Amino acid sequence: MPGSLTLPLLIPVEPRSVTVEDGSEAVALHDPSGVVPDVDAVALSPAAWWLAAHFDGRRTPDEIAARARAEGLEVTGAEVAELADALARAGFLEGPVHDGLRARALAKYRRAAARAPSCAGGVYPSDPAALRAALDGWLAHADGVPRVRAPTLLVAPHIDYRRGAVGYAHAYRALAEADADLFVVFGTAHASPASLFTLTRLDYGTPLGPVRTDRAVVDALVADLGEDALLADELHHRDEHSVELQLVVLAHVLRRPFAALPVLCSSISHLLDPAAATAPFLAALARALAGRRVCYVAGADLAHVGPMYGDARAPTPAELAALAAQDRRTLSFLAAGDPEGFHRDAVLDDDRRRLCGIAPIYAAMKASGARARVLHYAQWTDGTDSVSYAAAAG
């Protein structure tokens, strides 16, 4: 069965190039879900990584070895099976070891008083006064931008504050007059868990104090859709930054009591009918929030291009300009209040553009039923890689 050593299945990993003690290049496997700690990471030779990348749960070690030999890599089925066994014992293959690590990590996460801020001390200062000063500096980029009265839909970046400061500034300047008492924050689940939507009952800790998660809403949704459907992948909240960065700014800007519903969204780029797939959750959400003053926030970046994201080379200025035109066309569906059109356009040329915020924006559009005006668009680049992002409110 898939996940066995007969048909080895690699868990979702982020491969990272490293140099080992003898000076040779290797590939270290990082588990973005945090189930396998980085201290237990394994480093593979490029050839071994090629083999491991073919552990898809559909091919036997002998079949993978035959494919490798066709590519000029001399390896036997027994050697592939040995590699699979080593990765399974380390927790990097689906199976009993990984299941045990995951159960222990999830239990530890749920015992915490609050979800610890994973970005404090890195993306932003961990000291409250220093954090407020830094946020004031980043958000000052939108001084003079008109505010939106009682917005119900907000799109903000989830790139780090320094690179996305102007985008954050435009988004949260617009939000300053929000009268909502509940903020449903849809964020990208970069590790792409199996569940389309993943909740947590924990409050989100920040240096400015915890942001309260509305557990009554979580409980209502769980009663409607089931614990496994909404909380089986809860551990992904622990290290994911897309929701955290929104809640930290909200705590800074609002400075009044409010509650949040943190929702991690897995990819919907591959779905031909996202409306049908997302309808059960969004309908249950509408029932749970009936009569509430709600603002729906999408923590979402757009295109990712360059060698860091799998391209053979850096994009040219002309290519970046063309990508910007595509992004702006996709964003135009926000103003039209057309989530289905947004999805159709967002997935065009998906292998090239890699928009990572499709699901949060789509969900926020559907849930709010609102239109949003694009307030800012930008492409960050270091001359090699590029990430685009936008701010919109309505």
pLDDT score, position 33: 81
pLDDT tens-digit series, residues 72-119: 999 999 999 999 999 999 999 999 999 999 999 999 999 999 999 999
- Report if residue 115 sits inside a domain: no
Q: Are 376 and 167 a contacting pair, CB within 8 Å? A: yes
The domain in which residue 229 lies consists of 123-393
pLDDT score, position 150: 85
Domain with 304 in it: what CATH number?
3.40.830.10
Q: Which two tokens stand for residue 13?
A: 């990993």
pLDDT score, position 23: 84
Of 106, 132, 153, the last residue of a domain is 106
| Shared domain check, 262 and 332 | yes
pLDDT tens-digit series, residues 306-356: 988 888 899 999 999 999 999 999 999 999 999 999 999 999 999 899 999
| Shared domain check, 231 and 292 | yes
DSSP letters along 191-228, please? T--SSSEE---S-B--TT-PBEE-HHHHHHHHHHH-HH
Q: In the chain, what's the furthest Cα-to-Cα distance?
A: 67
Domain count for the chain: 2
Of 78, 106, 134, the last residue of a domain is 106
| Shared domain check, 314 and 248 | yes
| Shared domain check, 157 and 102 | no
pLDDT tens-digit series, residues 247-262: 999 999 998 999 999 9
Q: Is the pTM of this model over 0.85?
A: yes
Bridge partners, residue 261, by sequence: 184
Residue of 211 and 3 predicted with greater confidence:
211
pLDDT score, position 177: 77
Say yes or no to pLDDT of 178 above 80: yes
Burial class of residue 246, CB neighbours in 10 A (0-12, 13-18, 19+): buried
| Shared domain check, 138 and 98 | no
Query: Rounded to an integer, what distance in angstroms lies between the CA atom of residue 209 and that of residue 193?
Result: 28
| Shared domain check, 21 and 149 | no
pLDDT score, position 1: 40
| Shared domain check, 166 and 80 | no
pLDDT band at 362 (very low <50, low <70, confident <90, very high): very high
pLDDT score, position 207: 98
| Shared domain check, 276 and 189 | yes
Average pLDDT of the segment spanning 149-177: 93
- Report if residue 117 sits inside a domain: no
Say yes or no to pLDDT of 4 above 70: no
pLDDT tens-digit series, residues 20-77: 888 888 999 988 888 998 876 789 999 999 999 999 999 999 999 999 999 999 999 9
Of 106, 135, 166, the last residue of a domain is 106
- Average confidence score pLDDT of the chain: 94
| Shared domain check, 65 and 145 | no
Query: Rounded to an integer, what distance in angstroms lies between the CA atom of residue 13 and that of residue 379?
Result: 27
- Report if residue 156 sits inside a domain: yes
Q: Which two tokens stand for residue 393?
A: 């409110």
- Report if residue 118 sits inside a domain: no
| Shared domain check, 275 and 347 | yes
